[in-house]
Amino acid sequence: MARTSQRLLDPHFVSKLARLDLRARLVVDGFLTGLHRSPYHGFSVEFAEHRQYMPGDPLRHLDWKVLAKSDRKYLKQYEEETNLRATLLIDTSASMGYSSHGLSKLDYARQLAASLAYLMLRQNDAVGMFAFAGGQGELIPPRSTPSHLRQMLVLLERLEARGGTDFAASLHALAERVKQRGLVIILSDLLDDPERIAGAIHHFRHRKHEVLVFHVLDPQETAFTFEREAVYVDLESGDRVTTRPQELRGDYRTRVREWIETIRGFCVEKQADYVSITTDTPYDRALIEYLSKRARLL
Amino acid sequence: MSAFSFLNPGFLWALPLASIPILIHFLSRRRLPEIRFPTVMFLRTLEPREIRRLKLRELLLLILRTLALILIVCAFARPSVEPKGASTRAAAAVAVILDDSESMGAMDEQARPRIEGARDRGLLIVDAARSGDEIAVTTTTGADAPLSNRSEDRVRLDRTVRQIQTSWLPGSMEKALERARRFLGRTTLRSRELYLIGDFQASGFTREAREKLALVARSGARVYLLPVVGSRVPNHAIEDLDPELRPGPQGKGLEMRARMANHADAPTDRLVVRARRADALIGGGDVSLLPDESRWASLPIDWRAGAQNASVTATDLGAKAPVVVESDVDALAADDRRFAVLGAPRRLRVLRVVESRDGAPAPRFAALALDPSQDGSGGYSVEAGTPASLLSINHGRYDVVMLEDIASLSGDAEARVRSFLREGGGVVIALGPHADLDYYGQRLFPGLIDLAIEGTERAAEGQSFELRARVPADPILEGLTLKVGSPLTQSHLTAFARGRTTSSRAEAVVATTGGLPILVSGPRVAVFLGSLSDDWGDLPYSGAFVPLVRGMVDHAARTASPEGLDQALVGHPPAARLDVAPSGSVTVRGPESYRSQATVLSDGSGFRAVADAPATVPGFYVFEAAGREAATVAVNPDPIESDLNPIPLDSLKTGPLPPRAILTASSLRTHLHDTRQGRELWLPFLVLAGLCLAAELWVGTARIAAS
């Protein structure tokens, strides 16, 4: 059972499924199944029903009254009361289309966004979506209706990686449009000036939003394991650099590490949560980060 | 000035291959793959400072790869350089002396006869000959004229060298060097080389041979020494056989004597010696010898065993019989067998020539030492004579002539003495206070013995000279038990003639205090520089006197000579004494189908038959007259070859020899290659190419490893 749920969280395995809604449901179900054994169980606050106690369940949810009356062990199940408004910001710039092993950063972000949206809606949270690139974007305002999921999935299905990022401009624009405070979840490779990224995050924070940044990178972007001398073409700017990877690998890795640390530092400074993930990272890592964030917010 | 060239220049057509790295370099730059990447901002920041280093490194790699290919192609083209001073391009006159003496039949370090190793070296030299070279091959026992050929007749030269075998004939390095010197002197070619191949036995390199070698080197020829062995090989030998049978210990039975030698740094342990008469074993024994010891060993024999005539008794020793004495075979088999015709002890007939002075008879010390009972029973019959008696001497009447304190000889007497020597007789000369030293030094000794006389040496008042043995175990000192340097006798000399040997043919056997020679031996001649009387000391009264006098007489009588009888050496015509005049011609038969006519000469008391052809192998040679056996003589090799101890080759380099004049088998190949075709450099080229490739690998991977 646990192995099956793990497979459902593997990006490569999930990416082979055709429908995004099905993928999202599988991911979340697999995640929640595994979560039964985890300390994240029980984020709802309103009682919903009883369930028979199973060995391993925490005793703190045991209904002692039922136990006293009938000598049977039942756990109390709760229904969640929502007051969270979350907006998923998905970077669709050309650089997000990069893939070194079949699953592009955009594919990964798309799947993660669908899973998060499905999970949020299952928890009766209001969730919206904003796909942006080149300083523009398309916004779906947050709602908590189940039919809202389909609208977001449609948007996710047609996302394509194109154009430049202009991360800061897009986010500044969105920050002005989203009046009601909530949780802003950014899924991007953050290939922009770190100072400007920090400025955009600061804008959200200024508007009293909570910010969770998923820094999505391809493993090749950090490892840079190319061997042959080649002409490297920038997916967004089209710039060309001819070099030998084996000559530069060490320095390159150092530079990327410093860049990531810079962004992380800015996020910490702006009190935003920062999660660096690569496209081969299982989805549960991101979902756990989200749930942790949500638990802190509620 | 060294000249550089390629021996396989055809390979240089492959030099354009060196452009392959350059082509690959530019082609690979033109066809670089494109990789689309999220961002190049991290690469771009690194590029400026790396790009210059990369370009420099690429250039270095390109140079290294191109250089490696050039070096590899050049290595295949066999680059060579002519050594400084060599005349690689010029034809050369090459003289090869190959030692084929008896000692070359001994085994080398690879347990094969030394001559094989020598032949291999000779063939290498012949095979390395180029067009225009002149080559002469000669051996130390070879004919006077060396085989000389143009290099075109390679097959003949090759066959000649392959057919060289060890020879029983006496070798002469001096003569071989002279032949080579004449050959090199005749050539018009500027480049001249002499290769000396052999075991470099000390016995072969006399002073004359060394001088001849230095002469060749001084003439401008490059001399190369090619030793086939590196160190001394232990070898024992039967050096001589006493042809006279002797009574056994306490007068019982008979015994014969063999002179055994141990040429080794370790003693022998009970060396077995066997004596055969026909096919029957007639006696023998075992002999233990100290390192470098040479001494007579007595072997008990049963003389009747193996006798063809059963009626021959032990006392009937008048009839001589051929006997073969053998020992266990070791390094050199040639000297482990010796032939002799044994018979009754020979009574030496000595003519003692003295002068009476002032009417007083001459002292008779020497006569009494030889024949104390004056009946010849001691093995010597001594007849007294005057210088005038010398005019009628011949070898038929006397074996040895002893001149004792004779002032000088007349011209006729002197000529007769020389003639006596040529006939095979021996001469003992004892000087004394009345001897005219100038006459002896300047007139009599030249041609007789290589000894110069420089005056009289007298001891200071109250002082005297001691006699000290100088040569270990010399036959003259046989009756004395002595070590080298130990005093010969308790007696002392007050004066003696100061002499000096002038060649290695004369040897100072005994010296006085201070190292001056007092007893000098030469072929069939012994000279005592003191007095055999009591006027220059008290020697006649000492115990050493009798053995000393007898030793000198025995030496003069026994010393083998080319013209001697009964005991002859290979390489000389066998000669025999005939008691009666033969009727008709005398023929000589010997081993290996030897057959020769003999010339018969009368010497006064009998006849002497000398074969026309020299003996070529050891063995028994039978003189036949009218179909009947008239005499049998034994012919043996010269035991001088037995000591298988090479001389230190550096001692030959004192002259103007090239710096690398001593060549081993492997260095000979290199030497011939270098001097004939130039010194090849393909290996250094390949090593350099390998270094280039290693450097290329290092430069190429160093940065990757750092990453």
Task: Kindly provide the residue ranges of all beta strands, DSSP E only, lying in B88-190, ordered along the sequence.
Answer: 92-98, 134-139, 147-150
Q: Read off the tokens for A102.
A: 């079949």
Assess if residue A238 is contained within a domain.
Answer: yes
Asked if the Cβ–Cβ distance from A247 to B47 is below 8 Å, we say no
Q: Yes or no: say if B650 and B212 are a contact pair by the CB < 8 Å rule.
A: no
* Contact residues on chain B for A240, CB-CB shorter than 8 A: 34, 40
As a CATH number, domain B567-636 is 2.60.40
Asked if the Cβ–Cβ distance from B43 to A248 is below 8 Å, we say yes
Which pLDDT belongs to residue B481? Answer: 67
Name B457's bridge partners. Answer: B496
If asked whether residues A124 and A263 sit together in one domain, one would say yes
Assess if residue A103 is contained within a domain.
Answer: yes
Assess if residue A219 is contained within a domain.
Answer: yes
Q: What is the pLDDT of residues B96-105, one digit of tens each?
A: 999 998 888 8
| The model's pTM | 0.51
CATH topology (fold) of B348-558: Rossmann fold (3.40.50)
For B235-343, give the CATH class. Answer: mainly beta
In chain B, which residue's Cα lies nearest the Cα of A98? B38
If asked whether residues A170 and A54 sit together in one domain, one would say no
> Cα–Cα distance between B274 and B660 in angstroms, integer?
47
Coil, helix or strand at residue A113: helix
Cα–Cα nearest to B268, from B237, B240, B242: B237
Least confident of B72-86, B433-447, B569-583: B72-86
- Which CATH number fits the domain that encloses residue A107? 3.40.50.410
Assess if residue A22 is contained within a domain.
Answer: no
Q: Which of A235, A246, A256 is facing B37, going by the closest CB pair? A: A235
If asked whether residues A74 and A188 sit together in one domain, one would say no
If asked whether residues A72 and A107 sit together in one domain, one would say no
Mean pLDDT calculated for residue range A266-275: 89
pLDDT-derived band at B313 (thresholds 50, 70, 90) equals: very low
> Cα–Cα distance between A93 and A90 in angstroms, integer?
9
Same fold for the pair B235-343 and B348-558? no
Task: Kindly provide the residue ranges of all beta strands, DSSP E only, lying in B413-506, ordered along the sequence.
Answer: 426-430, 451-458, 467-469, 495-501
If asked whether residues A109 and A151 sit together in one domain, one would say yes
If asked whether residues A69 and A91 sit together in one domain, one would say no
Asked if the Cβ–Cβ distance from B707 to A248 is below 8 Å, we say yes
If asked whether residues A183 and A283 sit together in one domain, one would say yes
If asked whether residues A56 and A192 sit together in one domain, one would say no
**Over 50: is that where the pLDDT of A236 sits?**
yes
Cα–Cα nearest to A192, from A219, A213, A221, A164: A164
State the total domains in chain A. 2
Structural domain boundaries in chain B: 4-82+682-706, 92-233, 235-343, 348-558, 567-636
ipTM of the complex: 0.78
Domain end marker among A54, A79, A104:
A79
Q: Print the domain residue range for A277.
A: 85-297
Q: What is the pLDDT of residues B412-453, one digit of tens each?
A: 999 999 988 887 889 999 999 999 999 999 999 998 999 999
Q: Read off the tokens for B680.
A: 């090849």
If asked whether residues A197 and A280 sit together in one domain, one would say yes
Chain A nearest C-alpha distance from B31 (Å): 9
Q: Which of B33, B47, B703 is facing A228, going by the closest CB pair? A: B33
Higher pLDDT, B27 or B66: B66
**Over 70: is that where the pLDDT of B578 sits?**
yes
> Cα–Cα distance between B260 and B279 in angstroms, integer?
22
If asked whether residues A103 and A70 sit together in one domain, one would say no
Q: ∠A54-A55-A61 over CA atoms, to 5°?
A: 65
In chain B, which residue's Cα lies nearest the Cα of A220? B37
Q: Read off the tokens for A85.
A: 């408004």
As a CATH number, domain B92-233 is 3.40.50.410
If asked whether residues A134 and A226 sit together in one domain, one would say yes
> Cα–Cα distance between B345 and B330 in angstroms, integer?
32
Asked if the Cβ–Cβ distance from B37 to A242 is below 8 Å, we say no
Bridge pairing between strands B191-198 and B92-98: parallel
Q: Yes or no: say if B427 and B524 are a contact pair by the CB < 8 Å rule.
A: yes
Q: What is the pLDDT of residues B449-466, one digit of tens each?
A: 999 999 999 888 888 888
Residue A148 phi, psi dihedral angles, 5° rounding:
-65, -25
Which pLDDT belongs to residue B380? Answer: 87
With a CB cutoff of 8 Å and minimum separation 6, the contacts of B288 are B267, B268, B269, B270, B271
If asked whether residues A231 and A121 sit together in one domain, one would say yes
Assess if residue A21 is contained within a domain.
Answer: no
**Over 90: is that where the pLDDT of B84 sits?**
no
Chain B nearest C-alpha distance from A169 (Å): 19
Higher pLDDT, A77 or A253: A253
With an 8 Å Cβ cutoff, the interface of chain B facing chain A consists of: 28, 32-47, 50, 54, 703-704, 706-707
